[in-house]
Amino acid sequence: MADVVHKAYAAPLEGWDFSWLEGRAHEVPPPWNFGSGRRGPGSTHAPEHLRGLLPMPPMNATAEETAEYERVFNELARYRFVCLNKPDADGTTRWMCPFHAGRLRTRAVPETMRASRDAPLIDLHDGERCCDGTVSVQAAELPHWQRFLPGTTAWRTSYGRRQVVEGVNGMLKGGFTNIAHKFFRVFGLTKMRILLAATIAGYNLEAIRSFLAKKSAERIAAPPKRTRKKRRKGTWTQILGSPGPSADNPSGSGRAPPPS
């Protein structure tokens, strides 16, 4: 054993370092900027206040506070690249810059001015380009990519669907029934799926019955709606004018009583 260790120490180490890469490999930054929490390639022309890690709304934030946080993320979503195709066999995707995709406009690129007027108008410096055309991105470069940019209004609306799903999971695990008790006394995945489908259908019927009962109770408990009788318009009195006061009709309104 001592001889093996001695031979290992005596062996030359030339060629084991990375000195052979000097002058052969160069680091070239990509034509986009990810940033912290961007979840996808974004344009490098984003304003300074949109770069870096943007704060998310705190827990129990009001609707007004949440909208203020989302306003910044919605603005940042304008600078996001747009995916052009589905992933290839190796996971590579093609992306287009937000200017050519119609999300942003700039006078430096005249064809972008044909986009919708709702797209923000961005000023580029003289000689500055929006992009170098479409870019290819490997799957390893997009580990946290999502369809909707996290923090935006669209992302919050899409994420809200999870609350409904979690509520159903909770009902199937104790609220309506408890499928964890293994009451499916059958063998085979197909048979268990059929019984589970019947259980879910029963829960859906119970959810519909509960919803209708709740609405019926609210309708009964609510005070009756008071409606004001619609006043007629275009009557002869309005067209001909109300007669003046007289001995038979002191108020001068309406039709005079019949003679006695």
Kindly list the domain boundaries of the chain, sorted by start residue. Answer: 19-159, 163-220
Q: What average pLDDT does the segment 60-84 reach?
A: 89
pLDDT of residue 102: 86
Bigger pLDDT: 14 vs 139: 139
**Mean pLDDT of the region 45-68:** 86
pLDDT tens column, 141-190: 777 778 888 889 998 888 888 888 888 888 888 888 888 776 667 778 88
pLDDT at 232 over 80: no
| Cβ–Cβ < 8 Å for 33, 24 | no
Tell me if the pTM is above 0.75. Answer: no
Q: What is the pLDDT of residues 25-51, one digit of tens each?
A: 544 455 445 443 445 667 778 888 887
Residue 176 is predicted with a pLDDT of 86
Using CA atoms, how far apart are residues 71 and 131, in angstroms rounded to an integer?
Answer: 26
Average pLDDT on 236-253 reads 61
Cα separation, 144 vs 151, in Å, equals: 14
CA distance 246 to 254: 12
Q: Which two tokens stand for residue 166?
A: 């979690």
